[in-house]
Amino acid sequence: MEYMKLRSIGKSGLHSSCIGLGCMGMSEFYGSFDDAENLATLERAMDLGVRMLDTADLYGNGHNEELLGRFLQQTRHRPLIASKCGIVRTDEILSDGNFRRDRNGHPDYIRASCDASLKRLNIEQIDLYYLHRVDPKIPIEDSMGALSELKAAGKIRAIGLSEPTREELQRAAAVVPVAAVQSEYSIWTRSIEVDVLPEIRKIGAALICYSPLGRGLLRHRGQLPVLENDDFRRTLPRFATAHFDANGWLFDILETVATDARMTVPQLMLCWLLAQGEDIVPIPGARKMAHLEQNVAASTLRLTRQQLDHLSHAFSETAVAGQRYSEGVAIKAT
C-alpha cells in the first residue's frame, strides 16, 4: 500500500499521516489488552504509513507511554509522538464504576509531568504536547506559559490543547501558538462545529479528532457491540439499549450508504471526517491488525458530494439519541 498523504499540524512545521493512531485502548478503558499484540499492531501501523501515535500520561497510569517507549526502541521508524498532561487520577470510585478525575494545570505540575512522560517514552523531545483539560483553578495563561517554557527548552516541539471551549482557545492562543486542538469529533458528535471549530481555523491550528468512530458505536447484526465487564463504554448513554435502539434509523443510513459506496461503516465514518477539511486528522484506536488495516484503507476511499450531504443532514446534534457522556460527568478518558 502507498503511504498515506500528509496533513500539516497547524503552523508548527510538523506533519502527520491523514489518519493517525489513538493508543489509549492499548492500555485501559476498552477491556483487556495484550502488549505483544499491541507492539505488533504498532509496527504494522508504521508499515502502512501511519505517522502519528497519540498517548497521554493518564492512559493506564503511565503504561501507555511506557508501551510506546518500548516500541520506539525496537522500530526503525520515528513517528510523530503526541502526549498529554493535565488530568489527574484519584482513588475515588464513582457510582458508574469509573475513577474520579481531577484537573491540574499548574505550571509546576506541567513541567514535572513532561519530564515523567519523556522518561517513560524514552525520548528527548515530545513532538506534540497537549494540556489534556483546562484547569478552572489555574489561569490558562499560566498553563500555556509553562508549555511555552517547555518548548523553549527543547522538551516539546509543538503545543496542543484538548477539549477547550472557544474562549479558552482564544486566551491560550493569545499567549503562545497552538498547533493542534484535540476534541471528540465524529459523525455522531458534532457539537464543536458551532464555535470551537471556527476558532481552530481562525488561529490556523489542526483539529485532531479522537473517537472518530463514535467510540466504536457500531451495530453488529442488529445488536449492540459486546463489551467486557471493565469496558467503560458500558457507562455511556449511547451504548444503553434504549438509546441504541432509538438510533436504529441512523445505523440504517450508515449501512445503506456504506454498501452503496462499497466500504465498511467504519471506513464511511472516517471518509466523512476526512472530507470535512484538510486541517483534520482522525486518530481511531485499534488493537487488532484487521481493524487497523481497515481504518487506514479509508484514506484511499472517497464519498460523493451527495453521500456526504446526506450523512451530514441526517446526523444532526438533535437527531442522535443519547449524550456522549453520562449527565454531570465533566472529565472522561480521551
Which candidate in 3, 30, 59, 129 is catalytic? 59
Between the alpha carbon of residue 212 and those of residues 22, 50, 130, 156, 216, the distances in Å are: 10, 16, 18, 26, 9
Cα–Cα distance, 110 to 72 (Å, whole number): 23
**At 183, is the secondary structure helix, strand, or coil?**
strand
Cα–Cα distance, 125 to 111 (Å, whole number): 13
Cα–Cα distance, 179 to 172 (Å, whole number): 11
- CA torsion angle 232 28 42 188 (round to 10): 20
Phi, psi of 3 (to 5 degrees): -65, 150
59 is catalytic: yes
Tell me the catalytic residues. Answer: 59
